[in-house]
Chains A and B, each alone.
Chain A
């Protein structure tokens, strides 16, 4: 496990981007040195820049033109039958690996005997859980963002089964989901008449404390961290623990440059400074077993 090559993945776009922006983003992503691209709507079923079929078409096109692995990501919070219907369609795509972000998808995929992946909102906190899911067809999992390197280390130590491990290493972290749309609420609008305000906030809408500390970002029914998780300086450690994939969560601008920095660092080259791409700053507390929003200095190691 120690000598494997670390792979890079691009997580699903968490935000509501326009159709043109999405196509442009994936055209650019195709040129980056990521090994895997996850795509699909994971947050809100009202976001329909691309229809379900168009996501699958895009997956097909990217797969054909780039040779990269394409994975279809699915909704994280399912409430309506229409959402389950879309989920079934995606789970039955027959071509691409599916990332389950809710136990509904785990059920649909495992009951069909189809191998699957899980995203950061499927709660896998220990090796026993992982073993159950591996038996049901789990092929790859993403460590929940609140878990530390020490927990991951212990989980992988207790595991004899084959599974690929992915860690969320860059981006604003998904922290929670709700029935309520907070972006709509911030405009005093109900969810059912949200006027698609999320389109105006391609990296989420900032929420600060009353003393102007940037704290969270509202992304519709999802709430994410205002700070950007960055584990670029931890690559050696990630490799040593036995991580297979590093996930970069897309942001509206400069994702390609961030991918480039990680790619160089994996190859042992000096990575360019990516600080300017996260204007509110970085955090890495969770990885170090600390408060999530903290930035633990790792330069002294």
Chain B
């Protein structure tokens, strides 16, 4: 089982490599990838340095071009694919059918992974990308229970990667436009959900408010920790209740499921968080490296160490974690 870690910059990439990642994924400094945040990501030179660093230590590097180009941006996506080929990354992670078509024709030797942003949740959908573009691996959206993930694996020729840890998209990735409904920018079009430039915190007489694109996402009592105002983690009114109508601020953590994930035939575990610090990446990589090694050494006796979960909770939204959709009652 490959441990795939995020890198938003060169120090993060090094931290991932040094702390046990098997592979690292990154994106360019533009809207061709789904973490298009100011100050984040790689130019070609930095990417080449990072790849050399990882390769020198026997690690693989994947590049994400996983947003959806509109016609006026097409050239940028095309050129990102060419850059990935020039860098000879170990795999290109794509979502858009047009981009996959271009990459598979122009660079037939370049291995393709299907991004979570392609929103493919079943083996028939995966078969389309396998038949048409020869994808080798797919990252599954965070909507399936563990038994459903297993069923996909049993019926697809494609390697399956799943998210193990990090911020939790509650909606099916690649088909959520809550962000653009409020800000005009979505992960698909701009590579960012709830972009920072639309975020606002206001101190009012009744406490702190968080807003996205002017829309009130939450109010916090005195002393309450304010969260980042993604729509799906806000408190709203439905009927007579005001509550986290979609999801509480929490992160995904599947550490406890490691033996089952491996038994299900999962080829890789992905850690979310290209927007996070090198310290985050290093710490999370270290915990997961230890956990994976320990689950391989003794699958039947595996239990996550208390200190692993404590460390992960510290960097989780709301300092709590969930098994999310893998655990059916969550749904």
A interface residues, Cβ below 8 angstroms from B: 76-81, 83-84, 87, 102-108, 110-111, 121, 123-133, 136, 144-147, 151, 154-155, 157-158, 173, 175-182, 185-186, 190-192, 205-213, 215-216, 218, 223, 225, 285-286, 289-293
Report the 3 A-B pairs with minimum CB-CB distance, sorted nearest first: A128-B98, A154-B71, A104-B124
Give the shortest distance, in Å, between B283 (CB) and chain A (any CB). 28
Chain A residues with Cβ below 8 Å from B127 are: 107, 111
Interface residues on B, range: 35 or more
B interface residues, Cβ below 8 angstroms from A: 68-72, 74, 95-99, 101-102, 118-122, 124-125, 127-129, 131-132, 142-145, 148, 151, 170-172, 174-178, 180-184, 186, 188-189, 213, 215-219, 235-239, 241-242, 245-247, 325, 328-331
Does B325 lie within 8 Å of A179, measured CB to CB? yes
Does B216 lie within 8 Å of A178, measured CB to CB? no
Does A104 lie within 8 Å of B125, measured CB to CB? yes
Main secondary structure of the interface of A (DSSP, over half): mixed
Does B131 lie within 8 Å of A111, measured CB to CB? yes
Does B218 lie within 8 Å of A77, measured CB to CB? no
Which of chain B's residues has its CB closest to A102's CB? B125
Cβ-neighbour of B96 out of A103, A129, A155, A223 (below 8 A): A129
Chain A residues with Cβ below 8 Å from B71 are: 126-127, 151, 154-155, 157-158
Which of chain A's residues has its CB closest to B328's CB? A192
Cβ-neighbour of B97 out of A129, A209, A216, A289 (below 8 A): A129
Expressed in whole angstroms, the Cα–Cα distance for A238 and B68 within the complex equals: 23
Which of chain B's residues has its CB closest to A190's CB? B329
Instruction: Report how many A-B pairs have Cβ atoms within 8 Å.
Output: 215
Which of chain A's residues has its CB closest to B143's CB? A179
Given the contacts A121-B175, A177-B171, A182-B245, A208 and B236 also touching, CB distance less than 8 Å = yes
Does A128 lie within 8 Å of B171, measured CB to CB? no
Cβ-neighbour of B171 out of A102, A104, A178 (below 8 A): A178
Cβ-neighbour of A108 out of B124, B129, B172, B189 (below 8 A): B124
15 A-B residue pairings within 8 Å (CB atoms): A76-B175, A103-B124, A103-B129, A104-B128, A106-B125, A106-B128, A107-B128, A123-B96, A126-B96, A128-B101, A144-B177, A175-B178, A180-B170, A192-B331, A208-B237
Given the contacts A128-B101, A292-B184, A186 and B239 also touching, CB distance less than 8 Å = yes
Expressed in whole angstroms, the Cα–Cα distance for A104 and B241 within the complex equals: 37
Expressed in whole angstroms, the Cα–Cα distance for A293 and B325 within the complex equals: 29
Chain A residues with Cβ below 8 Å from B122 are: 78-79, 83-84, 102, 104
Does B68 lie within 8 Å of A125, measured CB to CB? yes
Given the contacts A79-B144, A151-B71, A207-B237, A175 and B101 also touching, CB distance less than 8 Å = no
Which of chain A's residues has its CB closest to B177's CB? A146
Give the shortest distance, in Å, between A3 (CB) and chain B (any CB). 24
Residue among A127, A130, A209 having the largest count of chain B Cβ atoms under 10 Å: A209
Residue among B95, B118, B181, B246 having the largest count of chain A Cβ atoms under 10 Å: B181
Chain B residues with Cβ below 8 Å from A127 are: 71, 98
Given contacts A103-B120, A177-B175, 6 further A-B contacts (CB under 8 A): A123-B96, A125-B68, A158-B71, A175-B177, A178-B143, A207-B236
